[in-house]
């Protein structure tokens, strides 16, 4: 044995301690299914295999009852062993984290061991679903571990940071507590590190179980189970009015297991895992309620990562489009909207899973291309009657195209002239019929029949075994 | 004392319509003001229950990202 035991850490037994990794793994796995795959010792990590809702998974859990869950050589080996087993079995792996990071007493040996976990995670990336649940402080190596995985769930006591408040204070003088440094607010809303926020440890573990089943047991699309719902029922009458897209996404997906990822970060686009006709699908939807549904640098990055995750695991995509364009302005340009927006073009362009686009109201400009257009290889592009697919709004377009002519007429009749020119322009450039004619929209479908047409379009392209993108899921 | 919540503009926009009045009690999800940007009317909603103590903009104003539109307590 190594330095871990010579350091003579804490206290076994820990039967009564709620942070006991045994208890946490037992809460995660189906009753009676837990089988340890590493020794129950003082290593600071415990690994097991079992099932969640009947789906086989591998899991590992920090042991904060020993040196605050700090990770040394032996604990890291337990995680690497879990990864080897999960890769062998080709099943999802779930990590429960509550750890101060590397064991200081072991020096660079612990850094080396933590690095080996990162290597195992990276090699597994895109091959098996990796889910992290952060239940307590997760610092340093314990922060980057979850960050390398596909989905990070945060419990109410979860705190993620590179270095804790004490070090921050001593190094820079900045005074901050753990909550503000790495709690639900910063990571749920600002950094994008966390995908799912929860109100209790039980809910966090429950979400991990749901996600492991959605990704690990994707099911079969049964068209007979897909009932049509009028997907336009939650939309306002005026096409100018913004609305919340969540009810539409809920209508599109089966009742039951639905998990929205990154709900509060970049909320102008939504990314949701759920089922359609019993089969797992990923839904990406512009949300006009936030920033008018514009794409911007963060939402493009959020959506690209989701597309690549779904592609890697063979999850078909449904893309619900109502987008006025890319958000213009200095802030966006300086924030890298070109670089980050390119990620979305790349993600859709390389995706091999069935991916069906539904244009509900409008799709303009560069954002039109980015939202899984025909040109990027969409499986099928559907549009509602009256949808507009164009470079920009008709009035804005004629103001550029007919700048001189509009300037020549009297100001008081300008709006009327603009409207006439716009109507003419729409006929040749923007209407959905024109889009069908040139082949960028495959068919016009009524809102009340969209759900079934989407399912049929996916079903027609599903292969057995499912096609998967041959790439990892780098945390974009 | 009850906590104050500032309702801020997410993007550059015109204030198209002010819906909530000072003193009015709102529940989460109620519309406070409607902005106009990207040729769309974008409602700004209360994130939690509260009473409007201050409306800081007027219809027709241009607001920048981060500007306070109203205050709830």
Return the residue of A nearest to B45 by Cα: A289
**Cα separation of A465 and A283, whole Å?**
21
Interface test with B, best of A291, A393, A394, A399 (most B CBs within 10 A): A291
Residue A202 zone, left/alpha/beta (φ > 0; ψ -120 to 50; rest): alpha
Residue A10 has pLDDT above 60, yes or no: no
The ipTM assigned to this model is 0.88
Question: What is the rounded distance in angstroms from the CA atom of residue B9 to the CA atom of residue B53?
Answer: 17
Give the burial class of A220: count Cβ atoms within 10 A of its Cβ; 0-12 exposed, 13-18 middle, 19 or more buried: exposed
> What local confidence, expressed as pLDDT, does residue A12 receive?
59
Predicted confidence at residue A243, as pLDDT, reads 96
| Residue numbers in B near A393 (CB within 8 A) | 39
Q: How confident is the model at residue A466, as a pLDDT?
A: 78
Count CA atoms within 13 Å of residue A469 on its CB side.
26
Q: Is the pLDDT of residue A457 over 90?
A: yes
Contact, A381 vs A442, CB < 8 A?
A: yes
Beta bridge partners of A358: A320, A382
What tokens appear for A469 in the block? Answer: 């993108």
Instruction: Give pLDDT, residue A392.
Output: 78
Q: What is the pLDDT of residue A317?
A: 98
**Residue A344 has what DSSP assignment?**
H
Report whether pLDDT(A87) > 70.
Answer: yes
Average pLDDT of the segment spanning A413-429: 84
A13 prior amide bond cis, ω within 30:
yes
- Chain A neighbors of B37, CB-CB under 8 A: 292
pLDDT-above-90 percentage for chain A: 81
The position carrying tokens 């539409």 is: A248
| Mean pLDDT of the A102-114 span | 93
Between strands A45-52 and A35-36, the pairing is antiparallel
- Give the domain B5-72 fold: OB fold (Dihydrolipoamide Acetyltransferase, E2P) (2.40.50)
- The answer, yes or no, to whether residue A285 has pLDDT greater than 80, is yes
Distance, in Å, from the CA atom of A213 to the CA atom of A208, rounded to the nearest integer, reads 9
| Residue from the list B12, B41, B65 with its beta carbon closest to the beta carbon of A242 | B41
> Which chain A residue shows the shortest CA-CA distance from B13?
A291
Query: What pLDDT was estimated at residue A396?
Result: 81
Helix axes A21-28, A201-216, angle to 10 degrees: 50
Considering only CB atoms, which chain A residues are within 8 Å of B41?
Answer: 238, 240-242
Pick the closest to residue A155 from A118, A206, A216 (CA basis). A206
pLDDT at A6 > cutoff 50: no
CB atoms within 10 A of CB A237: 7
Q: A422: pLDDT confidence band, cut at 50, 70 and 90?
A: confident
Give residue-wise pLDDT tens across range A135-152: 999 999 999 999 999 999
Residue A11 has pLDDT above 70, yes or no: no
Quick one: which of A270, A268, A321 has its CA closest to A296? A268
Q: Judge whether residue A248 has pLDDT over 60.
A: yes
Cβ burial of A462 (10 Å; 0-12, 13-18, 19+) is middle
Task: Say yes or no to pLDDT of A357 above 70.
Answer: yes
Please report residues of A whose CB lies closer than 8 A to that of B10: 290-291
pLDDT value for A4: 44
> How many CB atoms within 10 Å of residue A336?
15
Confidence of residue A295 (pLDDT cuts 50, 70, 90): very high
Instruction: Provide residues of A within 8 Å CB-CB of chain B.
Output: 238, 240-242, 288-294, 324-325, 327, 329, 331, 393, 396
Domain ranges of chain B: 5-72
- The shortest CB-CB distance from B38 to any of A289, A325, A331 is to A325
Reported as type and span, the H/E element at residue A399 is helix A394-401
**High-pLDDT (> 70) share of chain A, %:** 97
Are A263 and A154 within 8 A, CB to CB? no
DSSP code, position B39? T
Question: Could you tell me the CA-to-CA distances from A172 to A162, A166, A181 in Å, in that order?
Answer: 14, 10, 14
pLDDT at B2: 59
Q: Please, which pLDDT band fits residue A238 given cuts at 50, 70 and 90? A: very high
> Per-residue pLDDT for chain B (73 aa), expressed as one digit of tens each?
457 899 999 999 999 999 999 999 999 999 999 999 988 999 999 989 999 999 999 999 999 999 999 999 9
Average pLDDT, chain A: 93
How many whole angstroms separate alpha carbon A297 and alpha carbon A303?
Answer: 10
Active-site residue list of A: 140-141, 366-367
Selecting from B11, B39, B45 the residue whose C-beta is nearest the C-beta of A240 gives B39
User: Is there a contact between A324 and B42 if contact means CB atoms under 8 Å apart?
Assistant: no
The mean pLDDT of A459-475, rounded to a whole number, is: 90
Which of A242, A331, A393 is opposite residue B42, by nearest beta carbon? A242
Higher per-residue pLDDT: A1 or A437: A437
Residue A370 has pLDDT above 60, yes or no: yes
Q: Which residues of A touch B43 (CB under 8 A)?
A: 241-242, 289
What is the pTM (predicted TM-score) of this model? 0.92
Q: What are phi and psi of A342, to 5 degrees?
A: -65, -30
pLDDT band at A123 (very low <50, low <70, confident <90, very high): very high
């Amino acid at each position: 044995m190594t330095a871990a035991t010579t350091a003579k850490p804490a206290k076994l037994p820990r039967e009564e301690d709620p942070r006991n990794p045994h208890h946490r793994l037992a809460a995660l796995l189906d009753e009676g299914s837990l089988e340890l795959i590493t020794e129950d010792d003082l290593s600071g990590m415990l690994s097991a295999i079992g099932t969640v809702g009947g789906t086989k998974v591998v899991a590992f859990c920090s042991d904060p009852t020993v040196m605050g869950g700090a990770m040394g050589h032996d604990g890291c080996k337990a995680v690497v062993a879990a990864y080897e087993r999960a890769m062998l079995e080709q099943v999802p792996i779930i990590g429960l984290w509550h750890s101060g990071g590397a064991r200081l007493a072991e020096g660079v040996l612990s850094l080396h061991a933590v690095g080996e976990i990162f290597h195992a995670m990276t090699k597994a990336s895109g091959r098996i679903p990796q889910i992290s649940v952060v239940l307590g402080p997760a610092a340093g190596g314990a922060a980057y571990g979850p960050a390398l995985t596909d989905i990070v769930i945060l419990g109410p006591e979860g705190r993620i940071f590179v270095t804790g408040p004490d070090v921050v204070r001593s190094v820079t003088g900045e005074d901050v507590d753990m909550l503000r440094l790495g709690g639900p607010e910063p990571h749920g809303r600002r950094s994008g590190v966390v995908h799912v926020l929860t109100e209790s440890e039980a809910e966090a573990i429950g979400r991990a179980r749901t996600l492991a089943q959605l990704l690990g047991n994707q099911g079969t699309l049964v068209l007979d189970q897909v009932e049509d719902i009028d997907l336009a029922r939650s939309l306002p009458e005026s096409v100018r009015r913004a609305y919340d897209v969540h009810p539409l996404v809920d209508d599109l997906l089966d009742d039951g297991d639905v998990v929205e990822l990154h709900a509060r970060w970049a909320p102008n686009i939504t990314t949701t895992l759920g089922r359609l006709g019993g089969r797992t699908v990923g839904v990406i939807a512009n949300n006009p309620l936030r920033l008018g549904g514009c794409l911007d640098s963060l939402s493009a990055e959020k959506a690209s990562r989701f597309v690549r995750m779904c592609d890697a695991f063979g999850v078909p995509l449904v893309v619900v489009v109502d987008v006025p364009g890319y958000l213009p302005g200095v802030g966006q340009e300086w924030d890298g909207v070109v670089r980050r927006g390119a990620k979305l073009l790349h993600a859709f362009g390389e995706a091999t899973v069935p991916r069906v686009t539904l244009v509900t109201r409008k799709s303009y400009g560069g954002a039109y291309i980015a939202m899984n257009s025909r040109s990027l290889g969409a499986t099928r592009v559907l549009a509602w009657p009256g949808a507009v697919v164009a470079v920009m709004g008709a009035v804005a377009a004629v103001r550029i195209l007919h700048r001189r002519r509009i300037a020549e007429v009297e100001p008081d009749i300008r709006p009327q002239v603009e409207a006439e020119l716009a109507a003419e322009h729409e006929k040749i450039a923007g209407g959905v019929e024109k889009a069908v004619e040139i082949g960028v929209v495959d068919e016009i479908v009524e809102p009340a029949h969209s759900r079934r047409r989407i399912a049929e379009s996916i079903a027609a392209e599903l292969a057995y075994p499912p096609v998967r993108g041959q790439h990892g899921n780098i945390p974009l | 004392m009850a906590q104050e919540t500032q309702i801020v503009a997410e993007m550059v926009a015109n204030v198209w319509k002010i819906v909530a009045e000072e003193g009015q009690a709102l529940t989460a999800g109620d519309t406070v003001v409607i902005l106009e940007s990207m040729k769309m009317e974008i409602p700004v909603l209360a994130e939690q229950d509260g009473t409007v103590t201050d409306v800081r903009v007027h219809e027709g104003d241009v607001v920048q990202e981060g500007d306070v539109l109203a205050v709830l307590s």
